[in-house]
Amino acid sequence: MSDPEVAAFRDALASVRGRIADACARSGRDPSAVTLVAVSKTVPAERLRAAVEAGITLLGENRVQEAEEKAPLLPGASWHLVGHLQSNKAARALALFAEIESVDSLALAERLARLAPAAGRARLPIWLQVNVDEDPAKEGFLAADLARDLPAILALPALEVRGLMTVGRLAATPEEARPTFAHLRTFAAGLRAAHPGLGPGLSMGMSDDYAVAVEEGSTLVRVGRALFGMRPAA
Ligand SMILES: *Cc1c(COP(=O)(O)O)cnc(C)c1O
């Protein structure tokens, strides 16, 4: 007998993975090169238990406290932080998250590097969030600031910089999000040519646009609503 909630999550997961595979086929990519992070913000731990049982085990949260409340109830899951990290919560984030995708300043990178050894994190995987569209409402480095700060970040031995992350613009159609993703890819390639320590990762694509992001080279998609359904209005 299978729990209907678990079965529904299995179907949702297969559907998202299928769309990722289709996008890879269209763009000549290997689906195993695309990691799926299931963004579980606002989803209660009881529902997440069914998701984990269905194989949705890599979860993303945008708030440290919410992840701290849920993580002890979900021993089978591992966690990425995808939202802005206040520096006074850096130590707590280090204790919980396998990877921090939302590093958005040199000061935060330095703080994480300083705290990582005491947290038993010899080489903490991080991503550098870029505000590609220079949207004042969004977090992330402006491209020029990252170009300036990247050498100092790569010089921090406690950090492993896996790549760049961005949140696409609010778009009416997935196609409208494409220029942001293409821009992040070319920006990353240019930076990497000058600074080989920058990892090859591109974290881009959410529920409405992950297929387009994969076509544009995404190596990690952060998908919430397509797996968990609509979130309550904030
Ligand atoms: C909420 C969130 C997502 C997932 O958004 P969906 O539209 O639900 O897929 C991805 N990335 C970040 C940074 C988020 O805050």
What does the pLDDT profile of the chain (234 residues) look like in tens digits?
579 999 999 999 999 999 999 999 999 999 999 999 999 999 999 999 999 999 999 999 999 999 999 999 999 999 999 999 999 999 999 999 999 999 999 999 999 999 999 999 999 999 999 999 999 989 999 999 999 999 999 999 999 999 999 998 888 999 999 999 999 999 999 999 999 999 999 999 999 999 999 999 999 999 999 999 999 876
pTM above 0.75, yes or no: yes
d(CA 204, CA 216): 9
Who contacts 232 (Cβ-Cβ below 8 Å, separation ≥6)? Answer: 42
Who contacts 120 (Cβ-Cβ below 8 Å, separation ≥6)? Answer: none
CATH number at residue 35: 3.20.20.10
User: 218: which 2 tokens?
Assistant: 């995404």
* Pocket mutation for ligand 1, best pick of 13, 20, 39 (most atoms within 8 Å of C-beta): 39
Q: Which atom of ligand 1 is nearest to the CA of 83?
A: 13
- Asked if residue 194 belongs to a domain, the reply is yes
Pocket of ligand 1 (CB under 6 A): 39, 41, 62, 82-83, 167, 206-208, 222-226
Nearest protein CA to atom 5 of ligand 1, as residue: 224
- Asked if residue 191 belongs to a domain, the reply is yes
Nearest protein CA to atom 7 of ligand 1, as residue: 207
Position 171 scores a pLDDT of: 87
Position 190 scores a pLDDT of: 98
Amino acid at 111: R
Who contacts 202 (Cβ-Cβ below 8 Å, separation ≥6)? Answer: 163, 164, 165, 181, 184, 185, 188, 217, 218, 219, 220
- Asked if residue 233 belongs to a domain, the reply is no
Q: Which atom of ligand 1 is nearest to the CA of 223?
A: 9
- Asked if residue 234 belongs to a domain, the reply is no
Position 169 scores a pLDDT of: 83
* Structural domains counted in the chain: 1
Position 219 scores a pLDDT of: 98
Q: Which residue has the tokens 């992001």?
A: 213
- Asked if residue 82 belongs to a domain, the reply is yes
Ligand 1 centroid – CA 108 distance (Å)? 21
d(CA 71, CA 61): 10
- Asked if residue 50 belongs to a domain, the reply is yes
The CA-based angle 204-206-210, given to 5 degrees, is 75
- Asked if residue 182 belongs to a domain, the reply is yes
Range(s) of the domain holding residue 170? 3-228
Ligand 1 centroid – CA 232 distance (Å)? 13
Position 234 scores a pLDDT of: 65
Q: Which atom of ligand 1 is nearest to the CA of 226?
A: 9
Q: How many CB atoms lie within 10 A of CB 225?
A: 12
- Asked if residue 116 belongs to a domain, the reply is yes
* Pocket mutation for ligand 1, best pick of 15, 37, 62, 80 (most atoms within 8 Å of C-beta): 62
